[in-house]
Structure 1
Amino acid sequence: MRLLIDGYNLLHKSDLMGTGHGAAWLERARQRLIDTIAAYLEPQDLPQTTIVFDRHSGKQIDAHQVDSSGIQILYAVDHPEADDLIEDLIAKSSHPKQLTVVSSDHRLQKAIDRRGGKSVDADIWYERLLAGQVTTGAKKNKQGRGNRQAKRGKSHKPDSPLTDEQLARWLDRFNADAIQDELSSLAEEPSPIPKPRPPALPQPKAKPAKKATKQKTQPKPPKKPAPPRSKKKQPATKPDDLSKRKLQQENYNPFPEGYTDDLWDE
């Protein structure tokens, strides 16, 4: 034994208690706790785990039981309450330094501290369990497969079909009455037949948009080059013209011919 659990203390710190009353309801809550611990622990840790509950009121029950998973279940039949039985187990442990007590009860925490073991508050241990961070330090057996599927968040597929007892446990854990009512309502109400959808009309194909064509511009004709100008200056008049003009000026007579003849006659 390496893991000693205060059963009802852990049950009240978890989310497995549920609501109800009576011996049957309490028995189902206990079984939910056992199943959850068995689902999240490593296979080699299960035989090293012991859960202690208060004694039963009502029907006779064995003080020592072994769950189908291998977990040891003890009931405080010969003790006033579970804390007394757990304290007695701590005192009689042959390897107390390897023992871990899961309980928020200060009385039990001091008892294991005196013997050099470890103690963990119930709520903290439960969070670690769901996170896959709990181990007893036991060696893996040859058939062990490491962490279970439930620890990794995946459903575990059993190798063989569930027994009627196991099926009843899981149905109770997941609110079997609500599931059964839902299944019955689905079986009674026929599913409506979906109406066929009218065939889709063919959509006209859109004409491709015409590409804008660029207008080709006519190339402008090249300009004719201007004729080169002569650097030599041309004379305004030729020499022959100058001599003619001088002669004309010398012989120029502003009076018409015969204008002065009248004067000579007087």
Structure 2
Amino acid sequence: MAKNKKEYLFIDAYNIINSWAKLKELSRLSLDTARNELIEIMSEYQSFTGINVIIVFDAHLVKGSNTKEEDVYGLSVVYTKEHETADRYIERKLDQMGRNKIVRVATSDWTEQQVVLGRGGTRISARELEIEVNRVKISIKKQKEKEVKYKKDSLGERLNKEILEKFEKIRRKS
């Protein structure tokens, strides 16, 4: 990533939900649960990577709906207005952002990928995003393990209780 450019990742939400086996299975039970799971996964991803994630849900078939943007766990979550698809919303945002920012769009829709490339963004397929998210999860796990190991390597962890009590008495006298 260039030093002065922010990086953004737009997620075509239902495309991802219908592409990832875990989310697809969840959506069969409850679409709301699948949406929430995607938001939680991407929140963790954003937190670790520093990439600004915008999750876009189609609401174009919802009568009378207006564009709704929410901050959920630090993510931007968008529900499109009536007659506006997630693809159209993302395309409009790409046009507004220009080429000053690094923008990726996660979708497996081939036509949308071509439009994104033509507007200066880059594309990432649902499968590639899933692989990237899993790599981030592994990195988070390794970082947590290092933190736990570091805490166990502290002086207090290596000294017996008797010596710690003596140090505490000395500290209180000071």
TM-score calculated relative to the size of structure 2 = 0.65
Partner of 1:117: 121
Q: Does 1:6 align with 2:12?
A: yes
- Displacement of 1:107: 2.2
Q: Choose the corresponding residue for 1:36, options 41, 48, 61.
A: 41
CA 1:34–1:151: 2 relative to 1, 3 Å: farther
Structure 1 residues 23-46: Cα deviation after superposition (integer angstroms, max 9, x where no partner): xx1111100011111223334625
Residue 100 (structure 1) shift: 0.6
Structure having the higher strand fraction is 2
* SS of alignment partner, residue 41 of structure 1: helix
Q: Distance in 2 between matches of 1:28 and 1:131?
A: 23
Q: In 2, distance between residues paired with 1:27 and 1:61?
A: 19
Distance (whole Å) between structure 2 residues aligned to residue 126 and residue 118 of structure 1 = 16
Consecutive aligned runs of 4 or more in structure 1 exceeding 3 Å deviation: 19-22, 40-44, 56-62, 147-154
Q: Distance in 1 between matches of 2:112 and 2:142?
A: 28
Residue 82 (structure 1) aligned with residue 86 (structure 2)? yes
Distance change (3 Å), C-alpha of 1:20 and 1:83: closer
Distance 1:62 1:115, change over 3 A: closer
| Aligned position for 1:27 | 32
Report if the CA contact (8 A) 1:64-1:72 is conserved.
yes
For these two proteins, the number of residue pairs brought into alignment is: 139
Q: TM-score, normalised by structure 1?
A: 0.44
In our comparison, the structure showing a higher alpha carbon Rg is 1
**Contact residue 7 and residue 51 of structure 1 kept, 8 A:** yes
Cα root mean square deviation, aligned: 3.4
Alignment of 1:1-266 (within 5 A): 2-14=8-20, 15-19=22-26, 25-43=30-48, 45=50, 48-55=52-59, 57=62, 63-67=68-72, 69-95=73-99, 98-132=102-136, 149-150=140-141
Aligned to 1:249: none
The residue number in structure 2 matching 1:193 is: none
Q: Deviations over 1:146-205 (max 9, x none)?
A: x97457586xxxxxxxxxxxxxxxxxxxxxxxxxxxxxxxxxxxxxxxxxxxxxxxxxxx
Structure 1 pair 4–20 and aligned structure 2 pair: CA distance change class (3 A): closer
Query: In 1, Cα distance between the equivalents of 2:63 and 2:109?
Result: 26
- Please report how far the alpha carbon of residue 94 of structure 1 lies from its aligned counterpart in structure 2 after TM superposition: 2.9
Mapped to 2, the partners of 1:97 and 1:13 lie a distance apart of 27
Q: Which has the higher helix share?
A: 2
Indicate the residue corresponding to 1:229 in structure 2.
none
For the 8 Å contact 1:39–1:148, the answer to whether it is kept is no
